[in-house]
Amino acid sequence: MEKKKIITTTKDQTSAIITDTLNQIRSNRLCKDIKNIDIDYNNSCCELRSGLDSIKQVIESNRGGEKGMHGFIGERAQVHISNSNALVKGEKPQYTLIDDNGPTDYLRGNTLIQQKSCRSGGTLGLDHLQNHAKAYPFYITLGGVYQIPRDFYETYYKLLLKPEHIAKKMRNEDYRLWLKIQSFALENPDITIEPMIVTYAEIQAGTIEETLSQVSKAHKQIHKDRTLEAIKLHKANIKECVRVTICSSVIEASVDGAICFIDKIQDGKKISEFDCIDYKEIVIETAKGAGKGALRGATVYTLTNTLGVPAPVATASFTAAYEITGEIIKYSKGETTRKEFAMNSSWHCLDVTVSAVSSMIGAKYITKLLPAKYRSYAILGSLIGNGVGMFVYSFAKSEINKHQLSQ
């Protein structure tokens, strides 16, 4: 009888063990994800700081002079902001600054890129692109592309697609630019133009620090959004609750059905002697176990993940409530006296308390005594702790009952 009780109480803690295990797995994954998100954010901050330091050197040395400095600033802004944007999202940075006054300003992977940030001439820098292409005819053959400030590109693309009958209605200055863009596109079909990540105004000596500051603010928001998304991803959910419910149901159904089967064997009945009534009783006990396990699993998972109740305590509370409800039904039918009802209810509460405490102690302390390769499995400590605790408790309870009977 006591062995059966130990098996039953250990089985009752199954829902707690499953829930704790799943919660621990989710918690570990969340910690890992948040750590990686923080690392990504810190790396992006370092990239921005590196960019700012490099830009300050350009400004302090007056590289390029008043008319050409923004070009060198633009190169660094494009490279460092793009890399920082990639890093904060957990992606691999692609840009590499060349900075050798050669035909290529920087690389994106293996793609050669020449940047032209020129307002002079009023052609969005297209004249400078043509001159570069003529000076380095191999550049386009090698797959090189050109980048211009984002606002320049938007104007370029907008006018490129604008029909002539509409363009003729624009101001003379805008119409001349339209003609230049149409001519450029026809004469240079092999030239690829891309937008930079920044506008012309954002890469001036007096505005670049504010530009980087705005990028930094945007990255803080990305970091926050990624963190919240990770938390949301690893929150308790209905699908996991269903898994716990099904596992708990199957385990309790199997154990209760097996106990009923073993009881009949221990009563002296051979399997060949089982009749329809015996099998019906086994099926009924199995079904009861399945229902109780499902209800226990759902309840424990809900209490643990909504109210923060420790899983062993949640299991104990459910078991106590279930058992006491059974005692109330017996008492209301007159099957037990008031004294028996109080005594049985007390024992049920003590049973589940010992079971819960044993599981918690096992998970915390016994796990540390296991071989190193098993220490990450708190489930083993819970099972061992519960089994040992209930064995000692059952022995003590048996001695108490013997003492009471002897009196």
φ/ψ of 275, rounded to 5, equals -110, -175
Q: Which region holds residue 191: left if phi is over 0, alpha if psi is between -120 and 50, else beta?
A: beta
At residue 252, what is the residue type? E
Domain that holds residue 254: 236-291
pLDDT confidence band for 163 (50 / 70 / 90):
very high
Quick one: average pLDDT of 153-172? 94
Compute the distance between CA of residue 57 and CA of residue 208 in angstroms, rounded to an integer.
Answer: 13
The answer to whether 216 touches 173, Cβ cutoff 8 Å, is no
Q: Count how many Cα atoms sit within 13 Å of the Cα of residue 266 in the half-sphere of its side chain.
A: 8
Do residue 158 and residue 36 come from a single domain? yes
- Count of domains observed in the chain: 2
Do residue 71 and residue 168 come from a single domain? yes
Q: Which two tokens stand for residue 158?
A: 């907008």
Among 203, 230, 257, the domain-final residue is 230
Specify if 336 maps to a domain. no
Do residue 266 and residue 200 come from a single domain? no
Do residue 108 and residue 203 come from a single domain? yes
Do residue 255 and residue 222 come from a single domain? no
Cβ-proximal residues to 1 (8 Å cutoff; 6+ apart), any chain: none
β-partners of residue 97 are 106
pLDDT confidence band for 405 (50 / 70 / 90):
very low
Specify if 392 maps to a domain. no
Compute the distance between CA of residue 306 and CA of residue 334 in angstroms, rounded to an integer.
Answer: 38
Specify if 99 maps to a domain. yes
Q: What is the mean pLDDT of the chain?
A: 84
Annotate 19-43 with b (16+ C-beta within 10 A) or e (fewer).
bbbbbeebeeebeebeeebeebbeb
Specify if 287 maps to a domain. yes
Do residue 143 and residue 216 come from a single domain? yes
Compute the distance between CA of residue 127 and CA of residue 51 in angstroms, rounded to an integer.
Answer: 29
pTM: 0.74
Specify if 15 maps to a domain. no
Predicted local distance difference test score (pLDDT) of residue 13:
66
Predicted local distance difference test score (pLDDT) of residue 133:
94
Do residue 244 and residue 136 come from a single domain? no
Do residue 43 and residue 122 come from a single domain? yes
Do residue 105 and residue 242 come from a single domain? no
The answer to whether 9 touches 255, Cβ cutoff 8 Å, is no
Specify if 3 maps to a domain. no
Specify if 388 maps to a domain. no
The answer to whether 301 touches 241, Cβ cutoff 8 Å, is yes
Predicted local distance difference test score (pLDDT) of residue 216:
97
Kindly report which listed range (165-179, 214-228, 260-274) carries the lowest average pLDDT score.
Answer: 260-274
Specify if 182 maps to a domain. yes
Among 266, 291, 316, the domain-final residue is 291
Do residue 250 and residue 285 come from a single domain? yes
Do residue 142 and residue 250 come from a single domain? no
pLDDT confidence band for 104 (50 / 70 / 90):
very high
Closest to 397 (Cα-Cα) out of 85, 9, 19, 89: 9
Q: Where are the beta strands (DSSP E) in 133-261?
A: 145-148, 193-195
Do residue 175 and residue 272 come from a single domain? no
pLDDT confidence band for 3 (50 / 70 / 90):
very low
